[in-house]
Amino acid sequence: MLSDREILSTLEMLRSEHLDVRTVTLGISLFDCADSDVNAFCEKIRQKILRLAHDLVSVCDEVGDKYGIPVVNKRVAVSPLAVVGAAFGREELVKAAQALDDAAQIVRVDFIGGFSALVEKGFTNGDVSLMDAIPDALAKTQRVCASVNVASTKAGINMDAVHMMGQIIKRTADATADADGIGCAKLCVFANIPPDIPFMAGAYLGVGEPEAVINVGVSGPGVVRKAIDRARRSNPGLDLGQLAEVIKHTAFKVTRVGELIGREVARRLDIPFGVVDLSLAPTPNVGDSVGEIFQSLGLHSIGVPGSTAVLAMLNDAVKKGGAFASSYVGGLSGAFIPVSEDLNISEAARRGHLSLEKLEAMTSVCSVGLDMVALPGDTSAETLAAIIADEMAIGVINRKTTAARLIPVPGKKAGEKAYFGGLLGEATIIPVPNGELSTEFICLGGRIPAPVQSLNN
């Protein structure tokens, strides 16, 4: 039985603390759309997405109105195109991306993910064609998102793929140079990518998933910060262990709300419910920032000494509270620290509190990685690849998901601003120290072997 105080605190979360469901993502398998003719293939995937996602947005809005909890983003994730379209070459896969974009526009979803390849252990011809198609596909579409998994704890790090992704990120930035390289904001490089992520740009529907499924991503950084502020005001003597309990209780309530909405949407669409992703996902709005939580816990700014410890505590408490609230937890589940999408984090980067090195250190305990990091436009492909390799190593050795979403902003230098708009926000471009000293290492290629942690079954 909930107490009056708990009910009132939940109402306060809805009314003034930015509680929302960040995303409802409909996963759709496209394996039955495979065809040797690209036009027939595109028509099959278009028709299947229209059939299954036709009512997604309206149902999410209806359920949001019913409970007074907005569903901010409605999205679709499909099977990895490198597998479904393995028979096609580069130009044909760009055409498939445009078919995905058309379907996404018709059903009115924000993004569609799944222009993806899984190459941690090697390449198929379809993988190479898809990776080569990414720059054009992202430049010629509005809603399509791409991801490439280049490493895993079981397989090690495919350094040839890492090198290729450095080059692909550069080409993608150049292809969208008139918008500060925004194509790179729709491209993630992963280690240990989960098959059920509801968040973009990494969302895709992996092998082993159902024909269609509803996955939900919750949010709530503003709710967590307000809960900490209230607790510290009422009892200034609280220590970090007690504050971790406050975060756990808050994460429990946020997760319950997310699962309630997700199950109701799934029931109305007659599609199975999948998982709740427990991530704290910020927006560029004041009061909805992960970075502000660090200040509520006594740090001057995210990025100063102590930030990695705070992030570790925050991530762990969110997972513990969320895991108790739902039996079906998946995706990334933790705290995002996307630089451009979080006003507080972006400001910390502008003031110099948050460097590339500190961001990398913090990703060893967060759920995603180097996310929405704007870099100087003259950063070389090999330097980008070296940054990616470092991030992949953190994921592989620690048996966790990590990712790199790097944006070398064409024509701009460190200290200038890049503007992406909407939820993607804006960011100060941060420098890359010792940036051009890794080329020989990257050009060695090959595959870094799997670590000893992989020797289990």
Out of 14-18, 265-269, 371-375, 391-395, which region has the weakest mean confidence (pLDDT)? 14-18
* Residues 179-195 pLDDT 10s: 999 999 999 999 999 99
Q: Are 162 and 389 in contact (CB under 8 A)?
A: yes
Sequence-ordered alpha helix ranges (H) in 270-404: 290-296, 307-325, 343-351, 356-362, 381-397
What is the band of 337 on the pLDDT scale with cuts at 50, 70, 90? confident
Query: How large is the angle between the packed helices 4-16 and 240-269, nearest 10 degrees?
Result: 70
- pLDDT, residue 8, reads 61
User: Which of residues 263 and 1 earns the better pLDDT score?
Assistant: 263
Identify the band that residue 454 occupies on the pLDDT scale cut at 50, 70 and 90: confident
Tokens standing for residue 117: 């390849």
CA pair distance 106, 101, nearest whole angstrom:
9
Q: What's the average model confidence in pLDDT over 25-35? A: 95
CATH class, range 27-191 = alpha beta
How far apart are alpha carbons 445 and 161 in whole angstroms?
9
3-class SS of residue 55 = coil
Which residue reads 């509190």 in tokens?
Answer: 353
Residue 13 has pLDDT above 80, yes or no: no
Q: What is the pLDDT of residue 254?
A: 85
Q: Model confidence at 327, in pLDDT bands (50, 70, 90)?
A: confident
C-alpha distances out from residue 340 to 78, 85, 375, Å: 26, 33, 12
- Show me where the domains of the chain are located: 27-191
Q: Is the pLDDT of residue 1 over 80?
A: no
Q: Using N-to-C axis directions, what is the helix angle for 4-16 and 221-234, rounded to 10°?
A: 130
Q: What is the pLDDT of residues 191-239, one digit of tens each?
A: 999 998 888 888 999 988 999 999 998 877 888 898 999 999 999 999 9
Picking from 333, 448, 452, the residue whose alpha carbon sits closest to that of residue 400 is 333
Q: What is the pLDDT of residue 297?
A: 93
pLDDT of 242 > 60? The answer is yes
- Terminal C-alpha separation, the chain: 42
User: Would you place residue 286 in the very low, low, confident or very high pLDDT band (cuts 50, 70, 90)?
Assistant: low
Mean pLDDT over 305-317 rounds to: 93
Q: In 3-state terms, what secondary structure has residue 418? A: strand
Full DSSP string of 165-231: HHHHHHHHHHHTGGGTTGGGGGEEEEES--TT--STTT----TTS-SEEEEEEE--HHHHHHHHHHH
Q: How would you classify the pairing of strands 426-428 and 417-419?
A: antiparallel
Helix (H, G, I), strand (E, B) or coil at 377: coil
Average pLDDT over the chain, rounded to an integer: 91
Question: Which pairing describes strands 111-118 and 144-152: parallel, antiparallel, or unpaired?
Answer: parallel
pLDDT tens-digit readout, 346-389: 889 989 899 999 999 999 987 678 999 999 999 999 999 999 99
Looking at residue 11, its pLDDT comes to: 63
Q: How confident is the model at residue 30 (pLDDT cuts 50, 70, 90)?
A: very high
Please choose, from the candidates 302, 284, 414, the residue with its C-alpha nearest in 3D space to the C-alpha of residue 358: 302
What's the rounded Cα separation, in Å, for the pair 363 and 349? 15
